A and B are shown apart, each in its own frame.
Chain A
Amino acid sequence: MPAMVQPDARGRWGRFGGRYVPETLVPALEELERGYREAMADPAFTGEYRRLLAEYVGRPTPLTPARRLTARYGRARIWLKREDLNHTGAHKINNALGQVLLAERMGKRRIIAETGAGQHGVATATACALRGLECTVYMGEEDVRRQRLNVYRMELLGARVVPVESGSRTLKEAVNEAIRDWVTNVDSTHYVIGSVVGPHPYPQMVRDFQAVIGEETRRQMLEAAGKLPDFLVACVGGGSNAAGFFAPFYGDEQVRLIGVEAGGRGLETGEHAASLSGGSFGVLHGAATFILQDEEGQVRPAYSVSAGLDYPGVGPEHAFYRETGRAEYVAVRDEEALAAAERLSRLEGILPALESAHALAYLERLMPETEPGQDVVVNLSGRGDKDVEILLAAGLGRRGSGEVGA
């Protein structure tokens, strides 16, 4: 298996990461770290996880050549890593299932989670239903409104959804509230964080559970093309799909890693969610990383048309990749992502999640730089059914494109 870069014993990649939390949580994080290490060394645990990924989640997911999208640019070949074909429709289930199995192994019968777009909440509710665990999901009130079908899906799966009314009423506040719940119920409860954020060991653990994306991609690319890809492109909010996609390629220095952040209405407007492109060093939700903040260190609310990217921080491993130059990070605006969602629907018959559409949008800038014979893999982290109302409201699909009758 390819080598990933590991944090030090204190959970740090360079100056990023760590464990900035109230004292009450430190013993719980130590217990989790121990439990996680033991589980990963136990073939019974990893075997059960692999078995469920195959027979329940539907892995491995395909690596699909995007032929008409490739033809549009006439340069490198474009491939799509199809995380949208996972059970529940996104990469989130890889991590949710792993953490729920871990919680079970550690004797925790109550699961809590935060969710933005609702994908991680649905994935966690699904894993809890599968294993018979109690599940509570915190979700910002604004996201509850934007993603009401996902709220109902979680309820159908037996989870309790708690709308969070404080602050910006989005993902940031949902994380705060989940952490408060965990502080209060730490003995009985495991908190399933949905991204590579939070205090150690979460960024490493979530990355490890998502690394199956990059491991499969590496193998599939070698099988299909006899070579490694030249570019990997993934969207970055907290950064879990990108971390799992990039990490197994860390040592393959010829592979360029490109993370695409949500530029919202444009970096210059301040209304965006691009912590790496438009943020600064700080501490949020237990980790040192890049965050959106004002000059007094108050965390600024993020903005993106995509609820899953609408977060004012980013995983510490990404901050490390950026600082060391191993990966590059760029931002695309709302309207670029919306157009890319429509484009992929029409050219490939695949409706992507608006999160993943950010990665696809960057192809417009990247592809002219590439050469025929090169390979670009985009991580299609989720499907777009949940975003249909937003696309409709934006008037997409109604413009005559010349290819589809109005």
Chain B
Amino acid sequence: MSLAVETSRGEEPRGARLIAEAIRRRRAEGAVPLVAYVMYGDPDPERSLAAAAGALEGGAAVLELGLPFSDPLADGPVIQAAGQRALGAGTRPSQVFEGLRRLREARPEAAVCLMSYFNPVLAYGCERWLGQAAEAGAAGVILPDLPPEEAGDLPLRARELGLAWIPFVAPTATEARLRAALAVGTGFVYGVALTGVTGASGGLDPRVPALVGRVRALTPWPVAVGFGLSTAADVRAAGAVADAAVVGSALVRLVARGGSAAEIRERVRRGVADLLGAP
């Protein structure tokens, strides 16, 4: 793992430290730190929170709680369908703050990032949205369609609120783009494992190891790779190259099988444990 992760960063946002430490701790235990994605509101708010709890109980280092959006450009069919289920069931994305508050009350140590497309954040009011996220106990925020050029001073506002600002880096990135993304990023760096949408298959893009090396030369934050990872072997492969692995669609598929909150929670818990190769 990157030694840089262990460097001191007392000035950094509280949420960013929480995330980096959760990743470091899993690494120290000999596991691949997993960033587990769950769609808030799928199939309804209650059961999605059960899925989130299951992911943390199964050993996820970081929980990425996605908010449903009508036009999820970066997502493949599995997460699109989850968003449609959530919206179809009447979930309002702004309810997530209450859900997150309850999740954090039960697990004060959990590192949770909220992931949303930009338009719902804009409609809610960007600063108000960040403020609510921080107050509800989010460790960080992930806005996949807000590249650094368009983010303005929001990364700074997030930092002031103690929130990590998770940057995306792609294998196609130029040096200038990497620098722009990493200049504002904290917590962890989201490396896109392949050029495609979430849930695609095909394994790691051959450019990923080089990408991880380029990122590590520029930032002390851990690098997680995601997009297209669905099996324990994928997670191991990602863990060999990067500091952590992100799994989304594979877990969303487990939620999509339905059942009671308890059943979903147990299914996701076991799913995450299987991905980590743990009993």
Contact = CB atoms under 8 A, between A and B. Distances in A.
Chains A and B bind each other = yes
A197 to B, nearest CB: 13
A223 interface: no
Nearest to B167: A23
B168 A284 contact: no
B87 A22 contact: no
Interface string A290-306: 01010111111000000
A299 B119 CA distance: 9
B197 A180 contact: yes
A61 interface: no
Given A24-B172, A176-B71, A183-B74, A296 B147 contact: no
User: Chain A: interface residue count, which band?
Assistant: 35 or more
A26 interface: yes
Nearest to A27: B172
B197 A296 contact: no
B188 interface: no
Contact of A296 (B94, B150, B170): B94
Contacts of B94: 296
Interface string A167-185: 1000010001001100111
A295 B149 CA distance: 26
B214 interface: no
Given A19-B147, A297-B121, A298-B120, A24 B73 contact: no
Given A23-B147, A176-B71, A296-B93, A186 B119 contact: no
Contacts of B124: 296-297
B169 interface: yes
B99 interface: no
B195 to A, nearest CB: 5
Contacts of A30: 174
Contacts of A180: 73, 76, 197
A48 interface: no
A21 interface: yes
A22 B177 contact: no
A207 to B, nearest CB: 21
A211 interface: no
Interface string B223-262: 0000000000000000000000000000000000000000
Contacts of A285: 71, 73
B84 A186 contact: no
B172 A184 contact: no
Nearest to B202: A184
A239 to B, nearest CB: 19
A291 B91 CA distance: 21
Interface in B130-186: 144-147, 149-150, 168-170, 172-174, 177, 181
A26 B120 contact: no
A179 B92 CA distance: 26
B70 A167 contact: yes
Interface string B59-96: 00000000001111110110010001001000011100
B69 A298 contact: yes
A295 B173 contact: no
B97 interface: no
Contact of A183 (B118, B146, B149, B196): B196
Nearest to B181: A23
A172 B70 CA distance: 10
A296 B123 contact: yes
B192 interface: yes
Contact of A299 (B70, B80, B170, B195): B70
B120 A20 contact: no
A162 to B, nearest CB: 13
Contacts of B177: 23, 26-27
A49 B76 CA distance: 37
Contacts of A300: 70
B103 interface: no
B31 interface: no
A167 B144 CA distance: 20
Contacts of B71: 167, 172, 176, 284-285, 299
B1 interface: no
A215 to B, nearest CB: 32
Contact of A27 (B118, B170, B196): B170
Contact of A24 (B76, B119, B146, B170): B170
A101 B195 CA distance: 25
Q: Report the 10 A-B pairs with minimum CB-CB distance, sorted nearest first.
A: A297-B123, A297-B120, A23-B168, A184-B196, A24-B170, A22-B74, A298-B70, A27-B172, A299-B70, A297-B119
Interface of B: 69-74, 76-77, 80, 84, 87, 92-94, 118-124, 144-147, 149-150, 168-170, 172-174, 177, 181, 192, 195-197, 200
Given A24-B192, A27-B170, A295-B123, 20 more contacts: A19-B147, A19-B150, A20-B118, A21-B73, A21-B145, A22-B74, A22-B168, A22-B170, A23-B181, A172-B71, A183-B74, A184-B195, A187-B172, A284-B71, A296-B92, A297-B119, A297-B120, A297-B123, A297-B124, A298-B69
6 contacts: A22-B192, A26-B170, A281-B122, A296-B93, A297-B93, A298-B70
